[in-house]
Chain A
Amino acid sequence: DAGVIQSPRHEVTEMGQEVTLRCKPISGHDYLFWYRQTMMRGLELLIYFNNNVPIDDSGMPEDRFSAKMPNASFSTLKIQPSEPRDSAVYFCASSGYDSGGYGYTFGSGTRLTVV
């Protein structure tokens, strides 16, 4: 398996623009998580899905952030409009019964810079 695939790896955008991050989880995993990591706040859970259904979105900072999972093999995290304080590394992770005792497998991350 190719692991969790995220795109793009790097994104530089201007304030006010829309940003869409993409994630393909490991096939067969039924949990998908979106995290944001910064030096100041560490790893923050934004939202997670179980069987494509959002379970907990309490970590989504504000209405500018939205996430979808239209099917088991694809999820998006959208920021509209983007702001400089959104600059961070965004990780997608997936989990299932085969993943090391239910631990996560992380994607390589998307480094977002909003200027």
Chain B
Amino acid sequence: QKEVEQNSGPLSVPEGAIASLNCTYSDRGSQSFFWYRQYSGKSPELIMFIYSNGDKEDGRFTAQLNKASQYVSLLIRDSQPSDSATYLCAVNNPDRGSTLGRLYFGRGTQLTVWP
């Protein structure tokens, strides 16, 4: 059973603060890790992916991966009200002989950024 766990929240932070979203996964064979943002009534959209241990930065977003601890996080700096959404963590389980395959999703963390 491959599980991806996230705190459901809601996580509430003031505008300008750092929002920290956390995710743990059970399958040590997981190779790729993704963060999706889903606004209410919309479809999930990919915002970050990370393969290697350490940090990966893209604008106000930083993804952090620690494979030894089976932990991945997303930091949002200078949070804006427009960041208010549900953030889904997803983990890749590659098909045999392939680097592609299905993603296992967490239930998501609801983030609210208040002005």
Contact = CB atoms under 8 A, between A and B. Distances in A.
Given A101-B32, A103-B46, A55 B88 contact: no
Contacts, number: 52
Q: Assign chain A's interface to a size class.
A: 20 to 34
B43 A102 contact: no
B43 A48 contact: no
Given A31-B100, A50-B95, A100 B49 contact: yes
B103 interface: yes
Main SS of the interface on chain A?
Answer: strand
B105 A43 contact: yes
Contacts of B43: 91, 106-109
A91 B105 CA distance: 14
B49 A101 contact: yes
Given A43-B88, A50-B95, A102 B100 contact: yes
A45 interface: yes
A105 interface: yes
Interface of B: 32, 34, 36, 42-46, 49, 51, 88, 90, 92, 95, 98-103, 105-108
Interface of A: 30-31, 33, 42-43, 45, 48, 50, 55-56, 91, 95-97, 100-109
